[in-house]
Amino acid sequence: MPYDTLLSPVTIGNLQLPNRVVMAPLTRNRASQPGDVPSEMNAHYYAQRAGAGLIVTEATQVSRQGQGYFATPGIYSDPQEAGWRAVVGAVHARHGRIASQLWHVGRVSHRLLQEGGAPPVAPSAMRAADTQVFVKRDDGTFGMIDADEPRALETAELPGIVLQFVDAAHRAKRAGFDMIEVHAANGYLLHQFMATGANHRTDDYGGGIENRVRLTVDVLEAVSGVMGANRVGIRISPNFTGFGLQDDEGETSSLHLARELKRIGVAYLHLAEADWAGGAPLSDDYRRALRQAFDGAIIVCGEYTAEEANARIERGGADAVAFGRAYLANPDLVERFRKDAPLNAPDEATFYGGGEKGYTDYPALDDAGRG
Ligand SMILES: Cc1cc2nc3c(=O)[nH]c(=O)nc-3n(C[C@H](O)[C@H](O)[C@H](O)COP(=O)(O)O)c2cc1C
């Protein structure tokens, strides 16, 4: 069988995955309005992809403050929780497993998306350079707009940020999610706190590595208290340089974080690699150091083919591999890997926003012949 390592079972935390093919988190901006509520169409999309060893949902804001784009789903209201319960139910009905990716965008936002037109929040009052977010303007039209000047969070507000994740974790647990993945990657709030270029604080949450990583550790500890650490993962991207983020110590601080995650007993660490996100590629030395620092499962992601994924796992660099654009375009990705069948190409024009087109209408192998 081709890719037999990739297609072999693995245990992550207390979950048994039938294969090591993970569906990467993919923002699709198709939550129903008003209220950013997951819909039946969203449930259908995830259920189509239930063959994955584990699905990680699109990033899901833990609060209105944590939102940076129009029509991304939330997990802070009752209707949102009910919407997610239906998504999880649809995935479980097809014998899949699904993690909720919990998200706070921090400064990658605009006051048009915020409650009462408030400025977005960040570790320091520094705008994300060269960053645009998708908004609905006051006149009802949609479009991209430069990220707003954020307000620096007061030290006394930080327990409230942790609480946003805790409340969301309670809702995710009630909705039946198998796992929670805390989004600490790609230049959003937790990453902003970790990065030298976005965090100029002088309190216990700024300065040295231990301080900059503190909020992420606080969140992971608190979410683990709700869900059980063996059902919690985290996504990081140590060398990410998008959204104006610059970090002189990304790899070093991620190794410190990894040791803290080991202490907490977190189930997995999901690496969004630099080859997609920008920045320098991760070295083999770094991968080895990460393995030493952390004893849970490692998931990697970023432009992998099945062949490269299989080889990465065989070399010991990962326990599972997540696929983003390939999963978006191939609902039966695992089946295609099993048969070494060709893949549908993703249509970039329909990535963000819209309806069924480019979302639920990518054909599976067994319906490729039908119009
Ligand atoms: C349309 C799209 C949406 C994405 N949304 C998210 C997201 O919500 N959360 C996240 O952590 N990464 C997100 N990413 C990054 C992917 O999870 C993944 O890291 C990236 O696509 C590289 O993997 P690939 O080469 O297999 O596509 C997104 C990528 C794409 C293309």
AA letter at 216: T
For residues 264-291, average pLDDT:
90
Determine the Cα angle at 353 with ends 352 and 358, to 5°. 75
Hey, which bits of 104-169 come out as E strands?
Answer: 121-122, 132-136, 142-146, 151-152
pLDDT exceeds 70 at position 367: yes
In this predicted structure, the answer to whether residue 256 has a pLDDT above a threshold of 50 is yes
> From ligand 1's centre to the CA of 236, what distance in Å?
12
Burial of 116 (0-12, 13-18, 19+ CB in 10 A): exposed
Q: What is the pLDDT of residue 142?
A: 85
- H runs (alpha helix) in the chain: 40-48, 78-93, 158-175, 189-194, 209-227, 250-264, 274-277, 284-293, 306-314, 325-329, 333-339
Lowest-confidence segment of 88-97, 190-199, 238-247, 253-262 by average pLDDT: 238-247
Distance CA 250, CA 74 (A): 28
| Active-site pick, 188, 268, 359, 362 | 188
188 catalytic per annotation: yes
Q: Contact at 8 Å (CB) between 86 and 44? A: no
Q: In Å, what is the CA distance from 8 to each residue of 11, 14, 230, 313, 338?
A: 10, 17, 21, 11, 11
Residues 56-92 have pLDDT tens digits of 999 999 999 999 999 999 999 999 999 999 999 999 9
**Using one digit for the tens of pLDDT, what is the confidence trace for 279-307?**
788 999 999 999 999 999 999 999 999 99
**Which residues' Cβ are closer than 6 Å to ligand 1?**
24-27, 58-59, 101, 183, 185-186, 235, 272, 276, 301-303, 323-326, 351
Predicted local confidence at residue 1, as pLDDT: 66
3-state secondary structure of 269: strand
| Domains, in order of start, for the chain | 10-110+157-367 (3.20.20.70)
Would you state the pLDDT for residue 370? 46
149 contacts 128 by C-beta, under 8 angstroms: no
368 versus 154: the higher-pLDDT residue is 154
- Alpha-carbon span 202 to 245, nearest angstrom: 19
The DSSP 8-state label assigned to residue 119 in this structure reads P
Nearest CA to ligand 1 atom 4: 26
Distance 25 CA to ligand 1 centre (A): 6
Q: What is the per-residue pLDDT for 274?
A: 76
- Best mutation site among 23, 27, 305 for ligand 1 pocket (most ligand atoms within 8 Å of CB): 27
Q: Which atom of ligand 1 is nearest to the CA of 72?
A: 8
Site to substitute for ligand 1 among 42, 325, 330, most atoms within 8 A of C-beta? 325
pLDDT at 254 > cutoff 80 = yes
Chain mean position to CA 52: 16
Cis before 34 (ω within 30): yes
Task: Label residue 368 by pLDDT band (50, 70, 90).
Answer: low
Q: Is 137 helix (H, G, I), strand (E, B) or coil?
A: coil
